[in-house]
Amino acid sequence: MHALLQAAAKQNISRLAATPHVHPGEIPFDRDLYDQRLEEARIYCRDNGLNLSLVSGAEINWTYNTVEALRQGRVHSLNDSEFALIELWQEVSWYEVQSISEKILRAGFTPIFAHVERYRCFLWQPGKAMRIKENLPVCYQMNASSLLVKGGPVFGHFVKTMLAGEGIDLISSDAHDCHRRPPVMLDAYQALQGRCRAEYAEKLLHFNGV
C-alpha cells in the first residue's frame, strides 16, 4: 500500500479514491476494517509529507444486492457522495445498462460506470453510449492506461469517438500495484493533448463531483 501511495504522489495525483472491489451479497465486505485501513493510509500520507488526499469509495460489482447495499451504507459511494462507481461485465447488454442505470438513479445515486472501454456493447456502438447519456444522467469512466495502448480498430474507434464527443466524464488510474497496473496519470495527460479540447482534458482528470 505504501509504495502505491508514493507512486501516486509522484504522478502528481492530489486526490485519490480508495476503491476496493466489492460484490454486495456475494462476497463479505468488512466496511469497518476498510475504514480503519483508509485512516491508516491517510496517516501515512500525512506523516510522510505526501500531498495526497484520500477519499472513500468502492468499485461496486453490480449484483442483485447493490442498490440495497448503497441505500444502507454497507458500501461506500465515492467520498460518500451521490456518485457510485459501478462495475459491469464484458457481455452486458444495452437493456441491462438502461435497467441498472434507472435502478441506481431511483435509489438516489448517480452511477459512474467503470472502464466502459471493456464492455462489448459500448465498444461496438459508441454512438448508442452517447445517446444513453442524453436520456439519463449517468457518467462514464475510462482507464488512463487505455489512452496509452493502440488496441484494435474497434477499440481505437471507440476511444476516439468518445473523446471527440466528450462522452467520457473522467479518466482515472485504476491502479492495483506498482508493476502490473501502476498509476500512469501523467502519461495519460500527455496522451490527451491534441486529442480533445484542453478544457475537456483538464475536466477529465479533475472530476468535481466528489
CB–CB of 148/188 below 8 Å? Answer: yes
pLDDT band at 150 (very low <50, low <70, confident <90, very high): confident
- Beta strands across the sheet bearing 139-143: 21-22, 59-61, 83-87, 110-113, 139-143, 170-172
Residue 93 C-alpha cell reads as 447488454
| Residue range 118-135: mean pLDDT, rounded | 96
What pLDDT score does 96 carry? 97
Report whether pLDDT(207) > 80. no
Residues 100, 66: Cα–Cα separation, whole Å: 10
What pLDDT digit, counting tens, does each position of 88-108 carry? 999 999 999 999 999 999 999
Crossing angle between the packed helical segments 185-192 and 198-205, to the nearest 10 degrees: 160
pLDDT band at 210 (very low <50, low <70, confident <90, very high): low
Q: Is the dihedral of CA 71, 74, 79, 80 positive or negative?
A: positive
Q: What is the pTM of this model?
A: 0.94
Taking Cα atoms as reference points, which of 83, 35, 27, 72 lies closest to residue 56? 35
Residues 8, 97: Cα–Cα separation, whole Å: 32
Report whether pLDDT(43) > 70. yes
pLDDT band at 209 (very low <50, low <70, confident <90, very high): low
